[in-house]
Amino acid sequence: MRLACCCVVVLLLGSVCVLAAPIDVPVYPVPEDNAFDHYVQATKLFPEGRPWDEAAGDPEALDAAEAELIVLDAGAALEEFRLGLDKPCVMPGPVDFSTTFPYLADFRSLTRLLMVEAMVHLNNGDAPAAFGSYMDAIKLGQGIARNGPLIHKLVSIACESIALKQIRRSAPMAGDAKALGELIKRLESAEPKEVPLSETLAVEWDCTRRNIEAWKADPAKRAEIGQVLERPGLQMPEAMLDDALTQLKTCYAQMIAVAKTDYWRWTTDDLPVPKGNAFVEMILPTVAKTREKHVRHLANLRATLLAVALEIRFARDGAYPEKLSALSPEPLAALPVDPFSGNPFIYHRQGDLVYVLYSVGPNGVDDGGRPADAGQENGDILFSAVE
């Protein structure tokens, strides 16, 4: 970790020491042939009406004939999308609070289209091709987070979650241990390619810093502050902007340091929100919540890996194993751990044909597989074969 001459904040919680160092903003050179451009162009080739969006992301809401027609009509969009898959993807920047991202909703729509394509492959008995569509969607999600601010990371998680859910739903239907084994390899390589939350927070901080400095330099632009805070007419003198910049820099450095630690050791809930500055009070709680969303995504990815491994054992043995430990060292080299606890996921076999698989969730407590109520921390996150 690089130390500069500015102040370094050391935070202690229990036995954990988190060093809030100066913020290094990642620099991603935008490639001349950028996958991002292919992805955007693909969305411009969508057939009118985007009929797959009517299924609300559930391809099973379409019958086989409808799905076939959708994929046929969207052939040009899918072809353009895949021209970018083997190329680096970097979001053009920098951005500020006035920047709009209309392509993000289009990328979610592109993900749903890939789920329909996967359904067509499954209907035709081609499980490997279906799994390829799912993994293409995951690669799309990972790419759109690179060099993007926080909203890009959230949409990235949303796109990948759509694909991961469909993998868990379709894996039991594959019945092909070889195809599932290839899918395992691709899923195992996925997590290292995720854009770290710490990098996204650094980009978000850079965006915030540039906005505050622009407001300081141009009093006429300060009218934008009220729009950002949804408080029309709000004025902030330069001294308050200086205070916001100082407080936010310290808090972002803390959140970045926490994002690099295991969730069960320290969460952003433990970070105090400074009071007295409306801008700081508005930004920090929203940004801090991203930590839990990111860890939920890691749990989702790892649980999907386990679900596919369970289907491999079922395809071979005609029954699910008694314990998760039976999945390693084959088909998994190592068992993934629950990122909310650092311990194995909870697994219970219920007869030869049914199992329950879950994470303990943000509270770190095994609640017996009881899912969390809306807006509540207590409860577990279930990852059954069918959701």
Which string of DSSP letters, residue by residue, matches 137-181?
Answer: HHHHHHHHTTT--HHHHHHHHHHHHHHHHHHHHHHHHH--HHHHH
266: left (phi > 0), else alpha (psi -120 to 50), else beta?
Answer: beta
Q: What are phi and psi of 237, to 5 degrees?
A: -65, 165
Report the sign of the C-alpha dihedral through residues 287, 289, 291, 297, in that order.
negative
Sorted by where each begins, the domain ranges of the chain are 9-24+200-288, 35-195, 292-382
List pLDDT tens digits, range 89-108. Answer: 999 988 888 788 999 999 99
* Max Cα–Cα distance, the chain, nearest Å: 71
**Does pLDDT of 328 surpass 90?**
yes
Whole-number Å distance between alpha carbons of 305 and 134 = 13
CB atoms within 10 A of CB 203: 25
Average pLDDT, the chain: 87
CB atoms within 10 A of CB 209: 16
Q: Cα angle vertex 135, ends 131, 139, to 5°?
A: 170
For the ranges 29-33, 76-80, 214-218, 381-385, the one whose mean pLDDT is highest: 76-80
For the ranges 110-114, 271-275, 352-356, the one whose mean pLDDT is highest: 110-114
CB atoms within 10 A of CB 100: 7
Whole-number Å distance between alpha carbons of 83 and 220 = 45
**Does pLDDT of 128 surpass 70?**
yes
Mean pLDDT check: name the lowest of 133-147, 278-292, 335-349.
278-292
Give yes or no for a contact between 179 and 128, defined as CB atoms under 8 angstroms apart: yes
Element (H, E) at 214: helix 197-217
Tally DSSP H helices, then E strands, for the chain.
12, 5
Q: Who's near 112: CB < 8 A, 6+ residues apart? A: 52, 53, 55, 57, 59, 162
pLDDT (mean) for 152-165: 96
pLDDT (mean) for 135-163: 96
292-382 in CATH: which number? 3.30.700
Q: Taking each helix axis from N to C terminus, what angle separates 127-144 and 150-174, rounded to the nearest 10 degrees?
A: 170
List pLDDT tens digits, range 180-212. Answer: 999 999 999 999 999 999 999 999 999 999 988
pLDDT computed for residue 14 by the predictor: 41
Mean pLDDT check: name the lowest of 125-129, 170-174, 275-279, 339-343.
275-279
Pairing of strands 16-20, 346-349: unpaired
pLDDT (mean) for 333-362: 93
Whole-number Å distance between alpha carbons of 269 and 292 = 9
Write the DSSP assignment of 301-350 as a string of letters. Answer: HHHHHHHHHHHHHHHHHSS--SSGGGGTTTT-SSPPBPTTTSSBPEEEE-
